[in-house]
Each structure stands twice: as C-alpha cells, then as structure tokens.
A and B are shown apart, each in its own frame.
Chain A
Amino acid sequence: SQQGEEDPQALSIQEGENATMNCSYKTSINNLQWYRQNSGRGLVHLILIRSNEREKHSGRLRVTLDTSKKSSSLLITASRAADTASYFCATDGTSYDKVIFGPGTSLSVIP
C-alpha cells in the first residue's frame, strides 16, 4: 500500500504559533495533496504539489516535498482558531489510479 502516514496524530498550539505536520508515503507518486476537514464536514483542498516540485506556497500555507525521503510537510504560519481541523495528506500513484489518504493530524489552535 502506498498509504501515507502522518505525524503528529494530534497537535495543540496557541493562536499565532506555527503548526507543522508531516506525511510519509511508501511508493512513487505523481503528486501529493493536503486537505483540511472540519469536524463532520467534507474535505477542503489546500494544496497539490507535483513530484517534480519541492516547495509550494499558498497564503499562510507552505508545503514541501522530498521524494528521496518519500515525505512531505505542511506548515501553517500564524495559526488562527479557525485553523482547528483535521489535516490529511493524500498521494496519487504513478498510474493515476487512485488517491490514498494518510491517517491525518488533528490540529487544535487555542485562542
């Protein structure tokens, strides 16, 4: 299975601090995506990073990808209470056949 793994499983920080979540996967990928999910809601797509990219930014989000280590990180800077959610990485294999999700990180941002 190419399912990603994430750490930490849970993260609690103060508002204004940075939050870093890591994701590892097992096999070669075409791209890796990060999603956010508020409790009981659907997925919100955050960023897609392709296998030939090393870093991507979107607002307060920064994603890195290290294909040699089969890992990615998501950094949320200057966190807000509204960032409280579960964050998942998802990998898309080289044959574009399916997207597999990691176990997720539960982020709590304390006001």
Chain B
Amino acid sequence: GAVVSQHPSWVICKSGTSVKIECRSLDFQATTMFWYRQFPKQSLMLMATSNEGSKATYEQGVEKDKFLINHASLTLSTLTVTSAHPEDSSFYICSARDAADGGEQYFGPGTRLTVT
C-alpha cells in the first residue's frame, strides 16, 4: 500500500523558536496533503489542506501565520510552527491523498512536538 512518512518523528524545541515538519508520499503523487493536530486523549483536528503549487486552506481558528504550510512538490509538504509556545506541544499528523487511487487518504506516523 501507499506509504507516507514524516520527519522528524519527535522534536523538542525551546519556546520562541520555529520547527519544520516534513511529510512525504513515498510511492505515489499526492496532489493534496492534510495536516492534523492531536492533543492528548483527543481526536485529530484538521488544521489545513495543502494543494501542490497553491496556498493552503486553513480551518477556522488555525493561525496561518503561525502554522506555515508549503506544498512545493507532489511528494512533499512541510509544516513550520513559528515562534512555538508550550501550548503548541502536540502530535502533528499529515496525510496525503492519492488522486490515482480513488482519492484514498494515507496517514503518516505523526510527529510529536514538545515546546519547553
């Protein structure tokens, strides 16, 4: 099946710094990628939808200037958490849609961000 990878799998950063998370579709082209955030004991909340070559669409309540998304190629999307604060500590999960596979969505393993 299709594989989506994320890097890093976990990261610790200091408050005020920025951190970039990569999401890659390894064996298919993903015209659309999605970024989710999950706090402990909660469900996944969609943050934004990223289409290759265009600006991301953010869900209500998600600050686009804080969570910068770039989808420069059909296999890579990045999420940059700028000026991170402890409340940004969370599990970030990306997914990629394989347009050639009936639109099925494949999820990455997630990145755990801890802001100290």
Contacts and interface: CB of A to CB of B under 8 A. Distances in A.
A103 B43 CA distance: 5
Interface residues of A, number: 21
A81 interface: no
Contacts of B49: 97-98
Interface residues of B, number: 22
B6 to A, nearest CB: 9
Contacts of A54: none
Interface in B58-116: 91, 93, 95, 97, 103-110, 112
B91 to A, nearest CB: 8
B44 A48 contact: no
B108 A42 contact: yes
B43 A43 contact: no
Interface string B14-37: 000000000000000000001010
A42 B93 contact: yes
26 contacts: A30-B103, A40-B112, A42-B107, A42-B108, A42-B110, A43-B44, A43-B110, A45-B106, A88-B43, A88-B44, A90-B44, A92-B103, A92-B105, A96-B97, A98-B46, A98-B49, A99-B34, A99-B46, A99-B95, A100-B46, A101-B43, A101-B44, A102-B43, A103-B43, A104-B43, A106-B41
The 3 tightest CB contacts between A and B, nearest first, are A42-B109, A96-B103, A101-B44
Given A97-B49, A104-B42, 16 more contacts: A35-B107, A41-B109, A42-B93, A42-B107, A42-B109, A42-B110, A43-B107, A45-B107, A88-B43, A98-B49, A99-B95, A100-B46, A101-B44, A102-B43, A103-B43, A104-B43
